[in-house]
Chains A and B, each alone.
Chain A
Amino acid sequence: MEADLVRRVKSDPNYQKLVTTRSRYGWLLALAVMVVYYGFTALNAWDKQFMASKIGNGVMSWGVPLGLFVIVFTVVVTAIYVRRANREFDALTEAIHRNAAAGAPAAPATAATQTIQPTQRRA
């Protein structure tokens, strides 16, 4: 990729926004998954009694719904990321592609960036 194109893309405010927002969001959700999973593992290692304790009068223990919660959480958190990426990050990426293809210095106020602004709080 020519240096000129790299510079142009990097100076596009959409690019800055995409990289910062997406990376922060990705790390935040990855952290959430780790907290949930290693939390679950830690409970199984340190507090076996709690995991085996009964929820009600039946045989159902806390461990089972918590384990199923980890499975559902894993799927849901992936869906949440993909949903935002499909809407917001793809729109930003398209705007970056358009600006890069146009060859012009990045224009922050093109129609493309306008359309995605309502979802953003950009100064």
Chain B
Amino acid sequence: MSKIFRNAGALALFAAAGSALAAPDLGQATKQATNWTAIVMFAGFVLLTLFITKWASKRTRSASDFYTAGGGISGFQNGLAIAGDFMSAASFLGISAAVFLDGFDGLIYAIGFLVGWPVLTFLMAERLRNLGRFTFADVAAYRFAQKPVRLFAASGTLVVVLFYLIAQMVGAGQLIKLLFGLDYWIAVVLVGVLMMVYVLFGGMTATTWVQIIKAVMLLAGTTFMAFSVLSMFNFSPEALFAKAVEVHAKGDAIMGPGTFIKDPISGISFGMALMFGTAGLPHILMRFFTVPNAKEARKSVLWATTWIGYFYMLVFIIGFGAIVLVGTNPMFKDAAGKLLGGNNMAAVHLAKAVGGDIFLGFISAVAFATILAVVAGLTLSGASAVSHDLYATVIKKGQPAPGSELRVSRMTTICLGVIAVLLGIVFEKQNVAFMVSLAFAIAASANFPVLFMSVLWSRCTTRGATVGGFLGLATAVGLTVLSKSVWVDVFHNTAPIFPYTSPALFSMFVGFAGVWLFSITDNGPRAAIDRAGFEAQEVRSETGIGASGASAH
């Protein structure tokens, strides 16, 4: 099937993608000479974040501190942290590589990641904050029988987190091998250990500040790069594009859509996965509980959307800058005329072209910091699903012994860290390019329908939410396995069974239809309780009356 999924999925993965696009084995990411500037800058970042973690650990005493930093993050801070959580190295290296390779197609890809934010703002953000405390399951299970819905929500969270995490770990290993000249396994262990330290000792407070610092570094670095590129063309985009068209192998084709959107159904399906998946990513949803009220939740998404939108515009300019400054410079190419370290290095080479070795070191450190911030957020989200949803609510029926919930989340953090490192090493040579798109598709087809229907549809029941959610999850995973990215690229079959790029169009339908069907046919005693609970839930979701931290009247 399609080049598109290959591209789309592959691009979603930073370092792995370069090799995934070129050839199936990831071994192509060649080890570079040890880069001392980058290592010193990164060590500086690590020291700073460890210092913050030490400070945060003194403030992490309760489960609430651990999950949500006590709910005391401001809207502006949270906006930056969300941006830091969301702008992964995939966005930075992957999208700039896509622009470097195909021009305009990279812009189409980037836009998909942005358009979910307003939808999340208009329909979900405030209601989420008003209903939930720690995890999105608090919202999804608000008026339902806790056990089945929490079981589903924890599964949805863990599946999304694990796929996302594997993609990040494999990417981290490849990237660090390239940037710092360290061995793959050392890089993966380093990422695993640092992320465990942040989450274990500093909880959400440390994670938030790691994400904020990383977001500021990334935005500052990319601003400088885009500014330098534009200044060489007297701030005329036309002059930049003209030069790019002149030197690019594809010539004028880089100014229009190419093969990224293969067919309309794939295009729309992939767009839906990105748009609605954003509103179902557990580590992003969790960030809404770190602010004191719905107003700050709303402000945080506006800030996040602004930063992310600005960032994608910069990345587009950076990609074109790389076409002109990196693509034409033999210094950045090997004997065969290929980019050193793979196409994902386009932005990194550009850093050297515009800012020399010091700035190259800075951008390398930023790329590493980016991965750390994203994996810390993912781990925290997975740990809360286990400790808050499974342990405290399902096993202990909402009455865990004092301190035990926090202990369980820390144990889970260690487990997840170890699992992430092991999976990162196991998947080193695998093509994991599909995993980020799969995480988005699952979030859109399982988590989002359940959240949406439980909050907005009065007739939704425990049975409908649980069965529909699991159906959406199974369909998203099943269709992905049958699509080219797994069926052909991983299992080496000749032709895919599912012909489209993304399952979202179909699996979202299954998710929503499942919730609907298994709710309307549900007339048991529990269904009556579920429906009777809607009024009170609606009042709280709309006004925040009764929500923790909201207006103490």
A3 to B309, CA, bound (A): 44
Q: Does B24 contact A (CB under 8 A)?
A: no
How far apart are A57's CB and chain B's nearest CB, in angstroms?
Answer: 10
A49 to B257, CA, bound (A): 8
Instruction: Check B267–A44 contact: CB distance below 8 A.
Output: yes
The stretch of B183-191, B435-443, B517-525, B537-545 in contact with A is B537-545
A79 in complex: contacting residue of B104, B119, B257, B302, CB < 8 Å = B302
Instruction: Check A51–B257 contact: CB distance below 8 A.
Output: yes
How far apart are B538's CB and chain A's nearest CB, in angstroms?
Answer: 8
How far apart are B361's CB and chain A's nearest CB, in angstroms?
Answer: 30
Q: A78 contacts which chain B residues (CB < 8 A)?
A: 117-118, 121, 301-302, 305-306
A6-B298 in contact given A37-B275, A75-B309, A78-B118 (Cβ < 8 Å): no
Instruction: Check B545–A29 contact: CB distance below 8 A.
Output: no
B305 in complex: contacting residue of A5, A19, A74, CB < 8 Å = A74
Classify chain A: how many residues form its interface, as a range.
35 or more
Q: Does B234 contact A (CB under 8 A)?
A: no
Q: Mark A68-80, 1 if CB is under 8 A from B, else 0.
A: 1011101101110
A72-B309 in contact given A78-B301, A79-B302 (Cβ < 8 Å): yes
A48 to B103, CA, bound (A): 14
A51-B256 in contact given A71-B111, A93-B543 (Cβ < 8 Å): yes
How far apart are B239's CB and chain A's nearest CB, in angstroms?
Answer: 9
Q: Mark A1-21, 1 if CB is under 8 A from B, else 0.
A: 101011001100001001100
Instruction: Check A100–B119 contact: CB distance below 8 A.
Output: no
A48 in complex: contacting residue of B256, B542, B544, CB < 8 Å = B256
Measured CB to CB, the nearest residue on chain B to A61 is B255
Q: Does B8 contact A (CB under 8 A)?
A: no
A26-B122 in contact given A68-B313, A78-B305 (Cβ < 8 Å): yes
Q: B545 contacts which chain A residues (CB < 8 A)?
A: 1, 5, 9, 96-97, 100
Q: B261 contacts which chain A residues (CB < 8 A)?
A: 41, 44-45
Measured CB to CB, the nearest residue on chain A to B302 is A82
Instruction: Check B104–A1 contact: CB distance below 8 A.
Output: no
Q: Does A119 contact B (CB under 8 A)?
A: no
Q: Does A109 contact B (CB under 8 A)?
A: no
Q: Does A114 contact B (CB under 8 A)?
A: no
Q: A44 contacts which chain B residues (CB < 8 A)?
A: 108, 257, 260-261, 267
Q: Does A107 contact B (CB under 8 A)?
A: no
Instruction: Check B309–A71 contact: CB distance below 8 A.
Output: yes
Instruction: Check A29–B122 contact: CB distance below 8 A.
Output: yes
Instruction: Check B242–A58 contact: CB distance below 8 A.
Output: yes
Instruction: Check B111–A70 contact: CB distance below 8 A.
Output: yes
Chain A at the B interface: mostly helix, strand, loop or mixed? helix
A61-B123 in contact given A37-B111, A71-B111, A74-B309 (Cβ < 8 Å): no
Classify chain B: how many residues form its interface, as a range.
35 or more
Contacts of B302-319 to chain A: CB distance below 8 A: 302, 305-306, 309-310, 312-313, 316
Contacts of B267-312 to chain A: CB distance below 8 A: 267-268, 271, 275, 294-295, 298-299, 301-302, 305-306, 309-310, 312
A9 in complex: contacting residue of B122, B298, B312, B543, CB < 8 Å = B543
Q: Does B237 contact A (CB under 8 A)?
A: yes
A24 to B553, CA, bound (A): 28
A1 to B114, CA, bound (A): 37
A27 to B119, CA, bound (A): 9
Instruction: Check B309–A64 contact: CB distance below 8 A.
Output: no
Instruction: Check A33–B298 contact: CB distance below 8 A.
Output: no
Measured CB to CB, the nearest residue on chain B to A22 is B542
A71 to B115, CA, bound (A): 8
Instruction: Check B238–A15 contact: CB distance below 8 A.
Output: no
How far apart are A52's CB and chain B's nearest CB, in angstroms?
Answer: 2
Measured CB to CB, the nearest residue on chain A to B312 is A71
Instruction: Check A18–B543 contact: CB distance below 8 A.
Output: yes
A93-B242 in contact given A30-B122, A78-B301 (Cβ < 8 Å): no
How far apart are A71's CB and chain B's nearest CB, in angstroms?
Answer: 5
Q: B252 contacts which chain A residues (CB < 8 A)?
A: 52, 59
A64 in complex: contacting residue of B126, B241, B295, CB < 8 Å = B241
Instruction: Check A48–B312 contact: CB distance below 8 A.
Output: no
How far apart are A6's CB and chain B's nearest CB, in angstroms?
Answer: 5
A1-B107 in contact given A58-B238, A78-B305, A96-B543 (Cβ < 8 Å): no
Instruction: Check B118–A86 contact: CB distance below 8 A.
Output: no
Q: B126 contacts which chain A residues (CB < 8 A)?
A: 85
How far apart are B263's CB and chain A's nearest CB, in angstroms?
Answer: 7
Instruction: Check A63–B257 contact: CB distance below 8 A.
Output: yes
A75 in complex: contacting residue of B275, B299, B306, CB < 8 Å = B306
Instruction: Check A97–B553 contact: CB distance below 8 A.
Output: yes
Q: Does A67 contact B (CB under 8 A)?
A: yes
Measured CB to CB, the nearest residue on chain A to B252 is A59
Instruction: Check A45–B104 contact: CB distance below 8 A.
Output: no
A67-B111 in contact given A59-B238, A78-B117 (Cβ < 8 Å): yes
17 interchain pairs, CB-CB under 8 A: A10-B539, A19-B542, A40-B111, A41-B108, A41-B264, A42-B264, A46-B264, A48-B257, A52-B253, A61-B255, A63-B255, A67-B104, A68-B107, A78-B302, A85-B298, A86-B298, A100-B545
Q: Nearest 9 pairs between A and B by C-beta?
A: A52-B256, A26-B122, A101-B553, A45-B264, A61-B255, A44-B257, A75-B309, A67-B107, A37-B115
Listed in ascending order, the chain B residues whose CB lies under 8 Å from chain A are 104, 107-108, 111, 114-115, 117-119, 121-123, 126, 237-238, 241-242, 245, 252-253, 255-257, 260-261, 263-264, 267-268, 271, 275, 294-295, 298-299, 301-302, 305-306, 309-310, 312-313, 316, 535-536, 538-540, 542-546, 551, 553
Since A6-B539, A27-B123, A67-B111 are in contact, a sample of 12 more A-B pairs with Cβ atoms closer than 8 Å, ordered by chain A residue number, is A9-B545, A37-B271, A59-B252, A61-B256, A63-B107, A67-B316, A70-B111, A71-B114, A78-B301, A78-B302, A97-B543, A98-B553
